[in-house]
Amino acid sequence: MGYSIQPVQIWTNGQASEGNFIDASIVNDNLSNYAQFYWAISNVTTSPDGDTKQTLAQGNTTISGADYTAWGESQDVNLAAYQYICSQLNLTLIP
């Protein structure tokens, strides 16, 4: 699924590139108090022939404690996961 983000400059392969999209998925969730997310920031461009996505950065982040509880109680846990990941990465999500 993924979401657009406010464009951010990412240094990759010796040059600055603009990331404007984030994907994420759950790697591990103990269904109690801890989860690990995988995230990838990409540059997505749209053309008449379709979208092109180039991954610029990727990694993992964890959620636990009160943040895990709040995430689990959210009405839209998918959106809440992206909001949490973006807050950890200092990115602005565009839902």
Q: Quick one: three-class SS letters along 42-58?
A: EEEEEECCEEEEEEEEE
State the pLDDT at residue 64.
Answer: 98
Strand partners, 25: 38
pTM of the full predicted structure?
Answer: 0.93
Strand partners, 39: 24, 59
Mean pLDDT of 71-82: 97
State the pLDDT at residue 30.
Answer: 97
Q: What is the pLDDT of residues 23-58, one digit of tens each?
A: 999 999 999 999 999 999 999 999 888 889 999 999
- CA 68 to chain CA centroid, Å, is 16
Element (H, E) at 95: none
State the pLDDT at residue 11.
Answer: 94
Amino acid identity of 79?
L
State the pLDDT at residue 50.
Answer: 87
State the pLDDT at residue 6.
Answer: 98
Q: How far apart are CA 57 and CA 22, in angstroms?
A: 10
